[in-house]
Amino acid sequence: MTSRYPSFAGEILDLFAEREAALTDIAIIQPADPFLDMAGEDLRRRIFLTESETGETLCLRPEFTIPVCLDHIAKRATTPRRYAYLGEVFRQRREGGAEFFQAGIEDLGSPDRAAADARSLGDAHAILSRVLPGTRLRVTLGDQAVFEAVLSALGLPRGWQKRLARAFGSPAMLEAAIAECANPQGATNLPRELASLVARGDEPRLTQHIEEAMQAAGLSPTAGREPGEIAHRLLEKAALRSVRLSDDALNALQSFLAIKASLEDAGAQLAGFAEGAGIFLDEALAEFAARAERIRDQGLPLDDIRYDAAFGRPLDYYTGFIFEIGAEELRQPLVGGGRYDRLLTLLGAESPIPGVGFSIWLDRIAAVRGEAP
């Protein structure tokens, strides 16, 4: 390892080898569209964009999951396959700085999802235990699939289900979305011509109008949402304003989101919630229980693993199991990861490829170790 890497990088590489995850090399310059389309609002705002000589929109690598998946597809590699990485990522950060190191493992194509989820958590915990010996680690688990199953079982309109699912992972956005579901607001203060197109439901003309307005203002679609996406969202919001979430459904949703339990107790609490709400979550709870059993098999300290029904991560591509691992002395997580079974198909894979993985913030590990990042 060169001196620019953290002092403990070699220990992480050793563990990659022990865990049979092949180190992969990912280009720093990446096509921007996959990140703008699939990485979520939070990351989209912090990407560094550039342009090729041919006009293609590019960016500095803001994370590794999407590039690893794109590389796997481009190479037409077989599965299952485990990729490890260690390198720099580039994004504007709330805590300052724009360049930092991440490491992680992406597990693609494993047919046993419960086992792969548990192994991903075990891999991440093993790395932290190796580089932070003696540090008590706290693990928070969530599950996007259970949340979406609850929304479906409560009979929410499909539009509201999509809106709430997109907000999962951002407490403020989720709270605002639930409030709007319970008390839909009247028409927003749109300019007259825009409001007229929304009222008529004329998506093609609405898209054209937005595109022309963006061009007149000198705004590039690559800096945010595409005109078509903006138009679709405006029409979706207009349709949802006519539907109100019932009190029973609202109370059940709030009861679900309030569930916080140890991994040992979480399955029973979820089952009790489903029975009390009069809804069927059998398939989602069976998957949850299978994963919990596999996590126990990893030999992790179960007392330090908590399930939080409201916990998510602000990346749009997650579809199921989600987790973070932190340390008592640090507010921010050291590791974040989860399952993303739809991502590779969206990126162009010819057939569905399940995936799960995690990223480690090496500068935060350095802070816990008392070292300069």
- The tally of domains found in the chain comes to 2
Residue 304 lies in a domain: yes
Q: Which residues make Cβ contacts (< 8 Å) with residue 324, sequence separation at least 6?
A: 139, 140, 311, 313, 333, 335, 336, 337
221 with 265, same domain?
no
Count of Cβ atoms closer than 10 Å to residue 201 Cβ: 10
Lowest model confidence (mean pLDDT) among 46-55, 253-262, 337-346: 46-55
Per-residue burial over 41-56, b if 16 or more Cβ lie within 10 Å, else e, is bbbbeebeeeeeeeee
Query: Residue 213 pLDDT more than 60?
Result: yes
Give the range of the structural domain holding residue 224, as residue numbers without chain letter: 192-240
Return the pLDDT at 179.
85
Residue 174 lies in a domain: no
> Of 212, 240, 268, which residue constitutes the final position of a domain?
240
| CATH code of 71's domain | 3.30.930.10
201 with 265, same domain?
no
Apex 198 CA angle, 196 and 200, nearest 5? 70
Confirm if 1 and 10 have CB atoms less than 8 A apart: yes
- Structure confidence by residue, pLDDT tens digits, 67-126: 999 999 999 999 999 999 999 999 887 666 688 999 999 999 999 999 999 999 999 999
- Structure confidence by residue, pLDDT tens digits, 121-140: 999 999 999 999 999 999 99
Residue 49 lies in a domain: yes
> Of 176, 209, 240, which residue constitutes the final position of a domain?
240
Closest of 81, 38, 168 to residue 354, by C-alpha? 81
131 with 236, same domain?
no
Segment 151-156 shows an average pLDDT of: 89
345 with 273, same domain?
yes
Residue 279 buriedness (CB in 10 A; 0-12 / 13-18 / 19+): middle
- Structure confidence by residue, pLDDT tens digits, 224-242: 567 888 877 766 666 555 5
Quick one: DSSP state of residue 32? S
77 with 219, same domain?
no
End-to-end CA distance of the chain: 15
Return the pLDDT at 2.
45
Residue 51 lies in a domain: yes
Return the pLDDT at 183.
73
Residue 176 lies in a domain: no
91 with 225, same domain?
no
pLDDT-based confidence at 310, cuts 50/70/90? very high
Residue 170 lies in a domain: no
Return the pLDDT at 161.
87
Return the pLDDT at 201.
66
130 with 272, same domain?
yes
Residue 143 lies in a domain: yes
271 with 349, same domain?
yes
287 with 227, same domain?
no
Residue 154 lies in a domain: no
